[in-house]
Structures are given as C-alpha cells and as structure tokens.
Amino acid sequence: MNTTNHCFPIVSPTIDQVGVIERASRFTVRSIKKDAKLAGLKMALSMIDLTTLEGMDTEGKVKQLCYKAQHLHDAVPGLPTVAAVCVYPNFVSLAKKELGNSGVKVASVATAFPSGNSSLEIKLEDVRMAVEQGADEIDMVISRGRFHRGDYQYVYDEIAAVKSACGNSRLKVILETGELGTFDKVRHASDIAIAAGADFIKTSTGKIKPAATMPVTLVMLEAIRDHYFKTGQRLGMKPAGGISNAKLALHYLIMVKETLGPEWLTNKWFRFGASSLANDVLMQIVKQQTGTYQSADYFSVD
C-alpha cells in the first residue's frame, strides 16, 4: 500500500459523553403533528435503502425487493420511491436491470463486507466488480482491527484507495460503531473517513449490536458539520441498523435538521439503512391519511 503522511496527524476533539447523550435525548421529546408529520414520513421513506445482504439471497429475492422499491405507491398513491436498493456485488447487474429508469439507485457492499478482513487487492477487486456491474454507490467497511491498533494511516490509505476505485460511484464508509467502543473513537474514525474522501459516513453493517444509536449518529453528524464549516464541503450520513419504527426515524430527521440544517434533509445527503422501517412508515402514512391503521400483512416482508 502506498502511504502518504500529509494527512496526519488528524486531531479529533474529545467528546463529552454525558453531553452527547443528553443532547441526543432532547430530540426524542419533540412533537410533530398532522401535515408536518405526514411530510416527515414521506421524507423518511424517500431516504431508505432497502437492503438484502444474506448468504441465502437469490435472484428472486433481489427482484422482489426491486419491485417493492418502485411500487410503494401501489399501497398508497402519491408516495416517493425509496432511495436505493443495496445488494452484494454479484447481484448488482440484476438490480440495475430490474430498477431500470425508476431513479432508485443501486448500492453494493464491498471490501469483504461485513468483517473487512481481507487484503487490499481483494477489497479493490470487490469494488471494481460492483462498479463495472453498474453500482451507483459503494458501501465499504473500514479495517477495525487496524484502527484499534492505532494504524490510522493504513485506515486512511485504504479508504482513499477504495474511493479511487469507485470512479463516479459515491462511497459510503461504514465505521461499525458498535465495535469502536467510545464516542472519541467514533469521532476519530469519522474524521479519518472524511479526510480520506468519503461521500457518506455510515454507522454500521447491521450485522452486530449495537448498531445505529442517536448519540453515536450525533457524534458523526457533528464531524460532518465541523468539516462543512471548515471547508464548505457537504457530506452525507447514513445510520444503519436498529431503526425499525417511524417515530424513531422522525427523531433522527429532527436531529439532522437541528445539527446540520434543512439542506441535509434529502436522500442525496441522508439515508436510513433499515429495510424493516419502510413498512412501519407506510402504516403510519396510511394512519395519517385515513385515521385508521392497516395490518402489517398488507405490506410485503423484505
């Protein structure tokens, strides 16, 4: 690996753990009513990455997910599509074909997802395969073992190499925050990913617990905010895993707006990695529009 030291040392601020937890909790007591709630639910729906990342994934399952991504309005007229469908690299070309001109992006995990334990050469080949098959976005995982050893230069260089291999595809860098341990480490990993060229920073693979939490997401949002204030460059954020209900999703949107501003309230800059969230958002939209709940059986299980 070609290492360059111009980026280091990256000095990250110390995080006030109590303060972050307290600030994050404040967003959960905000009340959103009627029209604003309906608009927020539709916004949340448009920010979801529908995902299937299992060893038993089949072509049929990918096709079903792509169909659902494009046909949410069958259940409720006038709804937006979701932001993207996320699959393994070997299903990218199929997803691209199934989604056609719908506007739904195809995202692909890469770099030995979810562990990240492989050589750089294999990781880059993983990325190139997905890009060549048509992936609009690449979700990579950082080498957490290297990070915990303090080999921050390696982590930086690996992200930069993956970014180069992405070409025109946007890069989401997964920190796997549940394995980092402290808010200070989450902030430092965020700063490294941002400096190395990430287009998005993302909390988790969804394969371990804890996944996304509001305090961890707040730490990452503040890293994005500080970078924006310093450089004028906007980056995206994707909490993933554990966000399964519409009420929590709305709390996240409030936190994004009050931390970064309304400009980030678009799926270009904010995503939810939570397939199960879509059905609950649909149920809540129907409730807002009709006054009654539909059964969860009315919506397909991803």
| Mean model confidence pLDDT for the chain | 92
Helix axes 246-260, 275-290, angle to 10 degrees: 100
37 is catalytic: no
Residue keyed to tokens 């890069």: 171
For 133-180, what is each residue's pLDDT tens digit? Answer: 999 999 999 999 999 999 999 999 999 999 999 999 999 999 999 999
Structure tokens at 297: 């059986």
Q: Residue 295's pLDDT is what?
A: 58
Assess whether pLDDT exceeds 90 at residue 35: no
Q: Is residue 2 part of a domain?
A: no
Q: Is residue 301 part of a domain?
A: no
Helix ranges, 84-173 (H): 92-99, 120-132, 144-148, 152-166
CATH code: domain of residue 233 = 3.20.20.70
Give the residue numbers spanning the domain of 257. Answer: 17-23+31-291
Q: Is residue 287 part of a domain?
A: yes
Q: Is residue 70 part of a domain?
A: yes
Look at 77-81, 184-188, 231-235 and tell me which has the smallest mean pLDDT: 77-81
Sign of CA dihedral 250, 44, 272, 254: negative
185 is catalytic: no
Annotated catalytic residue, options 68, 123, 172, 202: 202
Q: Is residue 10 part of a domain?
A: no
Structure tokens at 8: 């280091």
- What is the H or E stretch that residue 109 is in? strand 105-109
Assess whether pLDDT exceeds 70 at residue 183: yes
202 is catalytic: yes
Annotated catalytic residue, options 123, 172, 238, 280: 238
Nearest to 10 by CA among 163, 161, 188: 188
Q: Is residue 41 part of a domain?
A: yes
Task: Specify the number of domains making up the chain.
Answer: 1
Q: Is residue 297 part of a domain?
A: no
Annotated catalytic residue, options 136, 139, 157, 191: 139
Q: Is residue 109 part of a domain?
A: yes
